[in-house]
Structure 1
Amino acid sequence: MSELVIENNSQVFVHFDVEMLDGTKADSTRAHGKPARLTMGDGSLSGAFEVAIKGMKKGEKRRFSLDANQAFGEANPDNIQHLDRGQFAADADLSEGTIMAFSTPDGNQVPGIIREVAGDSVTVDFNHPLAGQTVIFDLEVLDIIQRG
């Protein structure tokens, strides 16, 4: 039996670190001690990310960068909302940079970053925190499962 490689229908378990160009770590599955499960071809990963890891084998490590359009997209000004201070709990931490969960009309939770508080107006950014950024992935393949 030949060694499995990541293909279009693979489910892949990986550890990865995400870094900014200045070396700042933005995320790490290693730090959390829990690998990520990725499913190739299900639409959750960017095409460029899938291309970057396709063909990798179990145990293989790869470091690669993706620009904003290939990773988390450009920041969308329509995703920045100005909300009334009264919509927040009295004890809510509205410090600039605070990330908090917001409920969507369909009941899902989405993260928003507090960008500014001016009087009764709270500016919340619903873009992905890494939108508009080139990011570097340091990835290690732990396991590959081919789906039927």
Structure 2
Amino acid sequence: MEKTRSPKKKKESVLKKSAGVKAKNKNNDVSNDESVMTTKPSIVSTGHLVSVDYTGSLDNGEEFDSSRNNGPISFVVGSGHVIKGFDDAVRGMKVDETKKFKINKNDAYGDVNPQLMHKIPMDKLPEDIRRQVKEGGFLVMQSPTGQQIPAKVNSIKNNEITLDLNHPLAGKDLTFEITIRDISVPSKNELHSHDHEDHDHSHEEGECGDDCDCDDDSDDCCGGNCNCK
């Protein structure tokens, strides 16, 4: 007579998240185990870490940035590390999904702020810079925290230079074509890392500060003691 065998119980995937289920640790203490309970997201939502390929262009078709040059951008959705319009656009997307959309200036870098226009006497600039500076050109300035800030030369009149410290894309609507490359739930280390990254390179009024030195390695450096605040 054949022996009767008890049917084997089917193993449940450790990645499957069951409502109300809690895991025990080695000390038999009940605790939430995120490594067991969390599955990889299929759709982008707030709090997810996403990797995105992108190309950005202006209304005239001019391309101002692309991940072809810098690689995909990674950020935590809803963290404020990218402009609002970009953050909103990725929500609800899936891996390998592509989308093209336009962002109004109000959800990008805002309007041009007149308070970020600064006049500096030409004699405050080093002599070699005075010979090179031209209207429409840029000077690379450096804040007290070390952040490099591009300043556009708006005008040169009466031995005085007017610098525009607004973000170069301020006042402009932006068009992006993006593709989601990865979606994940960030670990605590990843959250900490992204909290300390400066994804948005725009700057606020007065960030340049007093005596802001420039990058000595830059040909367009404005030199020290620009007193642009």
- Shorter-chain TM-score category? 0.7 to 0.9
Q: Provide the rounded CA distance (Å) in 1 between the counterparts of 2:84 and 2:62.
A: 24
* Cα distance per residue 1:86-120 (max 9 Å; x no partner): 33232223222222321224443322111112242
TM-score between the two structures when normalised by the length of structure 2: 0.58
Q: Provide the rounded CA distance (Å) in 1 between the counterparts of 2:48 and 2:160.
A: 46
- Structure with bigger RCO (C-alpha 8 Å, 6+ apart): 1
Alignment partner of 1:116 is 2:155 = yes
- After TM superposition, the structure 1 = structure 2 runs for residues 123-138 of structure 1, keeping only pairs within 5 Å, are 123-138=162-177
Q: Provide the rounded CA distance (Å) in 2 between the counterparts of 1:57 and 1:89.
A: 52
**Are the structure 2 counterparts of residues 2 and 11 from structure 1 closer, same or farther at C-alpha, using a change threshold of 3 Å?**
closer
Q: CA deviation at 1:56?
A: 1.0
Partner of 1:102: 141
- After TM superposition, the structure 1 = structure 2 runs for residues 4-15 of structure 1, keeping only pairs within 5 Å, are 4-15=42-53
Bigger fraction of residues in helix: 2
Where does structure 2 lack aligned partners over 5 or more consecutive residues? 1-38, 188-229
Name the stretch that deviates more: 134-143 or 84-93: 84-93
Name the stretch that deviates more: 94-103 or 54-63: 94-103
Q: How many residues align?
A: 147
Alignment partner of 1:80 is 2:117 = yes
- After TM superposition, the structure 1 = structure 2 runs for residues 18-37 of structure 1, keeping only pairs within 5 Å, are 18-30=56-68, 32-37=69-74
- Which of 60, 63, 87 does residue 97 from structure 2 map onto? 60
**Are the structure 2 counterparts of residues 39 and 2 from structure 1 closer, same or farther at C-alpha, using a change threshold of 3 Å?**
closer
**Are the structure 2 counterparts of residues 4 and 103 from structure 1 closer, same or farther at C-alpha, using a change threshold of 3 Å?**
same
- Which of 75, 86, 102 does residue 49 from structure 1 map onto? 86
Asked whether the 8 Å contact 2:41–2:183 carries over to 1, the reply is no
Name the stretch that deviates more: 53-62 or 83-92: 83-92
Show structure 1 runs of 4+ deviating over 6 A: none
Q: CA deviation at 1:47?
A: 3.1
Name the stretch that deviates more: 129-138 or 117-126: 117-126
**Are the structure 2 counterparts of residues 3 and 105 from structure 1 closer, same or farther at C-alpha, using a change threshold of 3 Å?**
closer
Asked whether the 8 Å contact 2:41–2:185 carries over to 1, the reply is no
Name the stretch that deviates more: 34-43 or 63-72: 34-43
Structure number with greater Rg is 2
Q: CA deviation at 1:68?
A: 0.7
